[in-house]
């Protein structure tokens, strides 16, 4: 970084948690209208990374589900931090990590901001939802993700939850 320019805003000055650096990272405020943006960006980066055209619909849907879920979790817990999406082009795969900031089960509920110890939170469990039609949407979102994506991992910790999904790229499919 050149010393004569001001540093990046704090929100962007974080390090990536994975092994390498994400190809594209997106952070958006937890508003439903931004989920579409995340879908479009994810599909565009996945296409460039060599994910098969036939699978792009699945990428779009899966990342949308993961982001909708994160937005719902942030909103129901009154968390103002942004939702993060890391899109990473790996050697033979394309991976997407959608991260929320809702502490998972086992974390101190007093620090979650909601003070509601019932059922825990984060990527490992359902979010509370008072709206009748919304009940079970979170679980349905996870059901859609696990139905669509072969390689998916859901984890949660004190800092929040992450849904990690990956798809093979053309490089991986076309082997010598």
Contacts to another protein by CB under 8 A: 32-33, 35-36, 39, 57, 60-61, 64-65, 67-68, 71-72, 132-134, 136-137, 140-141, 143-144, 147-148
Contact 68, 36 (CB under 8 A): no
Residue among 58 and 89 whose Cβ is closer to another protein: 58
Residue among 99 and 141 whose Cβ is closer to another protein: 141
107 closest CA partner among 140, 143, 155: 155
Nearest-approach distance from CB 133 to another protein, in angstroms = 3
Measured between alpha carbons, how far is 41 from 103 in angstroms, rounded to an integer?
27
Nearest-approach distance from CB 14 to another protein, in angstroms = 25
Residue among 111 and 139 whose Cβ is closer to another protein: 139
Residue among 140 and 170 whose Cβ is closer to another protein: 140
Q: SS3 of 155, please?
A: strand
Nearest-approach distance from CB 127 to another protein, in angstroms = 13
Measured between alpha carbons, how far is 161 from 154 in angstroms, rounded to an integer?
7
Phi and psi for 28 in degrees, rounded to 5?
A: -140, 150
Contact 68, 129 (CB under 8 A): no
Residue among 35 and 98 whose Cβ is closer to another protein: 35
Nearest-approach distance from CB 158 to another protein, in angstroms = 26
CA max distance for the chain: 56
Measured between alpha carbons, how far is 29 from 153 in angstroms, rounded to an integer?
23
Nearest-approach distance from CB 68 to another protein, in angstroms = 4
């Amino acid at each position: 970084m050149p010393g004569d320019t001001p540093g990046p805003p704090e929100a962007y000055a974080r390090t990536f948690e994975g092994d390498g650096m994400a190809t594209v990272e997106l952070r958006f405020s937890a508003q439903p209208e931004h989920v579409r943006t995340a879908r479009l960006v994810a599909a565009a980066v996945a296409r460039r990374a060599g994910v098969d055209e036939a699978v792009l619909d699945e990428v779009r849907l899966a990342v949308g589900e993961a982001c909708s879920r994160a937005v719902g979790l942030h909103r129901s817990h009154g968390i103002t931090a942004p939702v993060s999406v890391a899109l990473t082009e790996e050697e033979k795969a394309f991976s997407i990590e959608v991260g929320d900031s809702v502490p998972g089960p086992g974390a101190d509920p007093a620090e979650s901001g909601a003070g509601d110890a019932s059922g825990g939170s984060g990527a490992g469990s359902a979010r509370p939802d008072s709206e009748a039609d919304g009940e079970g949407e979170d679980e349905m979102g996870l059901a859609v993700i696990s139905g669509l994506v072969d390689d998916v991992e859901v984890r949660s910790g004190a800092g929040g939850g992450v849904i990690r999904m990956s798809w093979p790229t053309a490089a991986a499919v076309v082997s010598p």
